[in-house]
Amino acid sequence: MPEGPEIRLAADKIAKVIEGKQIEAIDVGMPHLEAPAKQLTGRVVEQVETRGKAMLIHFDNQQTIYSHNQLYGVWKTAKRGQLPNTKRSLRLALHTQDKSAILYSASDIGVYQRGELSAHPFLSKIGPDILQADLRWQEVRKQLEAKRFCNRGLSALYLDQHFIAGIGNYLRTEILFAAGVHPDFKPKQLSREKLAALAKQTLVVGRRAYDTRGHTVPDSLSKKLAKTKGSYESVRFMAFNREGEACRICTCPIEKGQRNGRRIYWCPQCQPV
């Protein structure tokens, strides 16, 4: 499933095509979107934003298209009349005079009045967005210390969108590695200093993944790895998907486990139990 940084990058791409533009035509692949599509045809897109893993497209008539890619959804852009050659199912296509923004394969799509978004079953319950511009590490620490979160294992907590929205499986591994915290700890078991480090790395790693289009390796090390001319995946992460490989910090082999039904990785020396 795409995580917060990937959804934000997709939103950036979509915004270049439709933000500030009149939508001249809309194609839909889901019956419940047919009536709303007629109301939005001819309207102007004011803003494309993300909240966690959800994308919101706001129109000038105070209506908003909500979409969540879940496992298989993907947004693409194209020149109008030149849709991508794909076997994916078209769910929604927004056409300006010369460009198109197309959503394939997603199943969670709806149109809402903007004032209704605060009561949306997903949006009303999620925590702060990991890429929220004004989010500070002190607020993340407060979340970690909150009664509803402090007694939960970090491996589960860092997948819970109620805690911080936009974190998924690879970010979970990479944030905990960067903070030097084993995934089996609970926030209440960590020292004040460790909680601060974890809160800070939550934002640092999340924003780095966005800025670098999916890399979580620190800049200084990333430049060295680039010289090795390894594959994209081989130089992308510090721990995720690197089972048995040498830790980039201490050379100890990276371990892999299952937590909450998802694979997770850690360094037994850098993240001791």
Which positions are annotated as active-site residues?
2-3, 53, 262
Secondary structure element (H or E) that encloses residue 77, with its range: strand 74-79
Number of helical H runs and strand E runs in the chain: 7, 10
Local structure of 266: helix, strand or coil = strand
Q: Are 169 and 159 in contact (CB under 8 A)?
A: yes
Rounded to an integer, what distance in angstroms lies between the CA atom of residue 151 and that of residue 28?
Answer: 44
**DSSP readout, 148-217?**
TTTTS-HHHHTT-TTTSBT--HHHHHHHHHHHT--TT--GGGS-HHHHHHHHHHHHHHHHHHHHTTS--S
Residue among 114, 99, 111 nearest 20 (CA): 99
Secondary structure element (H or E) that encloses residue 14, with its range: helix 4-18
Residue among 188, 205, 203 nearest 153 (CA): 188
